């Protein structure tokens, strides 16, 4: 295997670019890693003691490498010029305008990166797609690079999707199930493989063609999301029949062909990837004339919408068909535990539904601020019909507040809704919470996190997803 590159640039210091580059820098002290981003405040945060994203163990990784061989800056052109390998790790959100609205990925930022690389590149560069992209994007990247660059510049394009999950990014990066590298040049593939090979077993470094690599990332996320939607579909049937979804999940998960992971019924999946990637897959299938395949995958997203709506409907129905002017404590707003990320969190949808029913919400999440909550609600309520109505603005301003702790959120509340599975919710003094609430005290567990029997004994009226 040839010698690995000595200088890396990563464009995009987000949830993926930041932690991934920090891990490469930690594991390869002799490789200089420059992470660049157009967002000045984000870069300032990466250079401070308060990193822009919360990930267990990330502070230590960054501290070890930052200033040694890991650098964060806004000087994109300088980082491109000096690097041998350039990762593109900018965001690829679902399009909100034009052709493919609501489905296709917006590749504007990826194209801008390719043009920026073409503009500043001199000599040979390996350009690596780290962002999740529609299959065959590398084709466009290659064309832009070759037609827009100066004559001294040559390029190899690789696809190297990232499979880390938020909340466990550091452990996923340290011991990945696999690293996937797709490309046309064996030499370029080997050079990138050699970087990961410093700490990843070579057997876990998979090498494929470009298109397989691009498509594998979308497919992996679609399969994972499909499992969650499948168990959530069964949760509705459990509630109707008296079966218990955790028992069913356990029973099927012990079949080694099915396996136990990603079978936790919930209020719905969230995060920046699952919905976006499936919609992108759906769009691609339609584009390639495969409407049956598109419809199959779209159902995973529709089932997730159903699950979120089913939860908020259950809250309203159980509370005598009205939550108007009732205080509801919302426990958790992030899309899963151990992250401050709220993108596409099911909590946003449930809170939207409850606000439309005129509930008063007191939200507690250990990592999410009032500003972030309001931003998400404004974004959702605006994107639905293009404008934020005066009524919605008023509900967000007047009916949403945050509390300092989970128990503080419940004082005088009619109900608690558990929307994120933070561990600290398991250790609450539920006797004192119960006594501080209005009666009957309802508890809606959207994560099946809490001990239902214990809570019922205290006096709570408990609704748990997938339990009759």
Q: At closest approach, how far in Å is the CB of 336 from ligand UDX?
A: 4
Judged by beta carbon, residue 39 or residue 407, the one nearer ligand UDX is 39
Q: For residue 285, indicate whether it is catalytic.
A: no
Q: At closest approach, how far in Å is the CB of 435 from ligand UDX?
A: 31
Query: Residue 55 and residue 43: Cα distance in Å, rounded?
Result: 17
Q: At closest approach, how far in Å is the CB of 326 from ligand UDX?
A: 26
Sign, Cα dihedral of 96, 99, 103, 105: negative
Q: Which residue is catalytic, options 10, 273, 285, 351?
A: 273
Q: Which residue is catalytic, options 32, 162, 166, 421?
A: 162
Q: Which residue is catalytic, options 26, 95, 125, 217?
A: 217
- Which of 290, 419, 294, 293 lies closest to 363, judged by CA? 419
- Do 54 and 367 form a contact (C-beta atoms < 8 A)? yes
In three-state form (DSSP H/G/I as H, E/B as E, the rest C), the secondary structure along the chain is CCCCCCEEEEECCCCCHHHHHHHHHHHCCCCEEEEECCCHHHHHHHCCCCCCCCCCCHHHHHHHHECCCEEEECCHHHHHHHCCEEEECCCCCECCCCCCCCCCECCHHHHHHHHHHHHHCCCEEEEEECCCCCCCHHHHHHHHHHHHCCCCCEEEEEECCCCCCCCCHHHHHHCCCCEEEEECCHHHHHHHHHHHCCCCCHHHEEEECHHHHHHHHHHHHHHHHHHHHHHHHHHHHHHHHCCCHHHHHHHHHCCCCCCCCCCCCCCCCCCCCHHHHHHHHHHHHHHCCCHHHHHHHHHHHHHHHHHHHHHHHHHHHHCCCCCCCCEEEEECCCCCCCCCCCCCCHHHHHHHHHHHCCCEEEEECCCCCHHHHHHHHHHHHHHHHCCCCHHHHHHHHHHEEECCCHHHHHCCCCEEEECCCCHHHHHCCHHHHHHHCCCCCEEEECCCCCCHHHHHHHCCEEEECCCC
Q: At closest approach, how far in Å is the CB of 411 from ligand UDX?
A: 28
Q: Which residue is nearest to ligand UDX (CB)?
A: 14
Q: At closest approach, how far in Å is the CB of 429 from ligand UDX?
A: 26
Q: For residue 162, indicate whether it is catalytic.
A: yes
Judged by beta carbon, residue 273 or residue 381, the one nearer ligand UDX is 273
Judged by beta carbon, residue 63 or residue 112, the one nearer ligand UDX is 112
Neighbours of 454 (CB within 10 A): 11
Judged by beta carbon, residue 24 or residue 90, the one nearer ligand UDX is 90
Query: Residue 286 and residue 43: Cα distance in Å, rounded?
Result: 39
Judged by beta carbon, residue 119 or residue 458, the one nearer ligand UDX is 119
Q: At closest approach, how far in Å is the CB of 162 from ligand UDX?
A: 6
Judged by beta carbon, residue 41 or residue 385, the one nearer ligand UDX is 41
Q: At closest approach, how far in Å is the CB of 67 from ligand UDX?
A: 21
Query: Residue 438 and residue 413: Cα distance in Å, rounded?
Result: 6
Q: 262: which strand partners?
A: none
Q: At closest approach, how far in Å is the CB of 417 from ligand UDX?
A: 15
Judged by beta carbon, residue 65 or residue 90, the one nearer ligand UDX is 90
Residues near ligand UDX (CB under 6 A): 11-17, 37-39, 42, 89-92, 109, 112-113, 131-132, 162-166, 221, 224, 228, 262-264, 266, 269-274, 335-336
Q: For residue 9, indicate whether it is catalytic.
A: no
Judged by beta carbon, residue 196 or residue 323, the one nearer ligand UDX is 196
Catalytic sites, residue numbers: 162, 217, 273
């Amino acid at each position: 295997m040839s010698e690995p590159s000595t200088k890396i640039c990563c464009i995009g210091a987000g949830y993926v670019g930041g932690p991934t580059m920090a891990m490469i820098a930690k594991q390869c002290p002799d490789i200089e890693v420059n992470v660049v981003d157009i967002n000045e405040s984000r870069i300032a945060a990466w250079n401070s003691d308060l990193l822009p994203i919360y990930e267990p163990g990330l502070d230590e990784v960054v501290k070890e490498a930052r200033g040694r061989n890991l650098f964060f800056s806004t000087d994109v052109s300088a980082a491109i010029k000096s690097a041998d390998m350039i990762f593109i790790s900018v965001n690829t959100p679902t399009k909100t305008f034009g052709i493919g609205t609501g489905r296709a990925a917006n590749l504007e930022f990826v194209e801008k990166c390719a043009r920026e690389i073409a503009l500043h590149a001199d000599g040979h560069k390996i350009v690596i797609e780290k962002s999740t992209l529609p299959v065959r994007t590398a084709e466009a990247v290659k064309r832009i690079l070759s037609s827009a660059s100066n004559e001294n510049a040559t390029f190899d394009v690789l696809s190297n999707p990232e499979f880390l999950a938020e909340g466990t990014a550091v452990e996923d990066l340290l011991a990945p199930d696999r690293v996937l590298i797709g490309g046309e040049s064996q030499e370029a593939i080997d050079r990138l493989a050699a970087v990961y090979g410093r700490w990843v077993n070579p057997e876990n470094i998979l090498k494929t063609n470009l298109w397989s690599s691009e498509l594998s990332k979308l497919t992996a996320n679609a399969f994972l999301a499909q499992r969650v939607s499948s168990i959530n579909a069964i949760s509705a049937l459990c509630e109707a029949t008296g079966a218990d979804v955790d028992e069913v999940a356990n029973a099927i998960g012990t079949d080694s062909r099915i396996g136990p992971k990603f079978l936790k019924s919930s209020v719905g999946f969230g995060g920046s990837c699952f919905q976006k990637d499936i919609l992108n897959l759906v769009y691609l299938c339609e584009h390639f004339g495969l409407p049956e395949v598109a419809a199959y995958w779209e159902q995973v997203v529709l089932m997730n919408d159903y699950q979120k709506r089913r939860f908020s409907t259950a809250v309203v129905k159980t509370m005598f068909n009205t939550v108007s002017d009732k205080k509801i404590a919302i426990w958790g707003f992030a899309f899963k535990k151990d992250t401050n990320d709220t993108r596409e969190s099911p909590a946003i949808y449930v809170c939207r539904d409850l606000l439309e029913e005129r509930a008063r919400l007191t939200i507690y999440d250990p990592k999410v601020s009032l500003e972030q909550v309001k931003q998400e609600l404004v974004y959702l309520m605006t994107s639905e019909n293009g404008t934020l109505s005066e009524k919605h603005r008023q509900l967000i301003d007047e009916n949403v507040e945050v509390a300092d702790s989970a128990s503080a959120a419940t004082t005088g509340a009619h109900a608690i809704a558990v929307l994120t599975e933070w561990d600290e919710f398991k250790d609450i003094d539920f006797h004192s919470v119960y006594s501080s609430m209005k009666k009957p005290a309802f508890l809606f567990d959207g994560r099946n996190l809490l001990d239902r029997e214990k809570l019922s004994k205290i006096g709570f009226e408990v609704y748990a997803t997938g339990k009759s």
